[in-house]
Structure 1
Amino acid sequence: MPLLEINQTRQISASVRLDEGTATQVDQYATFIHASADDVVDKALNYVFSKDRDFQDFLKTPQSRHVTSTLRIRKAASNDAPEQPARRPVAVAEPTESVRTLKA
């Protein structure tokens, strides 16, 4: 019997929006536990899903099989190559109309 049991899971990449404070705390927690931000989000969601009794009851209903997907899933490369990590967009500050008016 092997000493290690490896469970391979199929992972996907998805895009989600977080409040800035939440995103900061995800990064802080990842640093705290020496893990990636992806692992923190995945494990936190799994924890919440498993602890929410009402959600667990919902999963047993026919309704749970007929949900509209709202998660924005990124398409994987067609040649099964590993996906490149998402790059953070560079924030560009643009003056609002009221600021432009004040400067004029």
Structure 2
Amino acid sequence: MALFTVKTSKKVETNIRLEESTAKMLDRYAHFHQGPADDVVNEALEYIFKHDKDFQQHLTANANATVPPSVRIKKAPGSAKAAKTTAQPAPTATK
């Protein structure tokens, strides 16, 4: 029996680096669940966050803590930055 259920949800895009053996096992686990590897990673992390008692205590004790981001989230095509670059008119050719 699987440890958690894989479900899809709203996603942001980011890159992570894994050990090669971990990436291979991720592919196998995703195949086992008949879903994408992204969903497996998401559900596995949510499972850990929820069930790690020390982490839960840390969250409670440091509820207002600000942490520097270490996960770089890629901006979606419709983001403000993308809109600025696409809103500019294309240069015209001169003779």
Normalising by the smaller structure, the TM-score range is 0.5 to 0.7
Matched, 1:16 2:20: no
Where does the alignment leave 5 or more consecutive residues of structure 2 unmatched?
Answer: 1-7, 80-95
Change in CA separation of 1:27 and 1:54 when aligned onto 2, cut-off 3 Å: same
Where does the alignment leave 5 or more consecutive residues of structure 1 unmatched?
Answer: 1-7, 80-104
- Write the mapping of 1:85-96 to structure 2, written as runs, cut at 5 A: none
Residue 40 of structure 1 and its aligned partner are, at CA, apart by: 0.4
Residue 78 of structure 1 and its aligned partner are, at CA, apart by: 1.7
- Which consecutive segments of 4 or more residues in structure 1 shift more than 4 A? none
Aligned residues: CA RMSD: 2.0
- Write the mapping of 1:19-98 to structure 2, written as runs, cut at 5 A: 19-62=19-62, 65-78=65-78
Residue 60 of structure 1 and its aligned partner are, at CA, apart by: 1.1
Distance 1:64 1:22 in 2: 33
Could you state the TM-score of these two structures normalised by the residue count of structure 1? 0.62
Distance 2:15 2:35 in 1: 19
Residue 62 of structure 1 and its aligned partner are, at CA, apart by: 3.1
Distance 1:68 1:50 in 2: 21
Change in CA separation of 1:72 and 1:51 when aligned onto 2, cut-off 3 Å: same
Could you state the TM-score of these two structures normalised by the residue count of structure 2? 0.67
Distance 1:42 1:14 in 2: 12
Change in CA separation of 1:64 and 1:16 when aligned onto 2, cut-off 3 Å: farther
Number of equivalenced pairs: 72
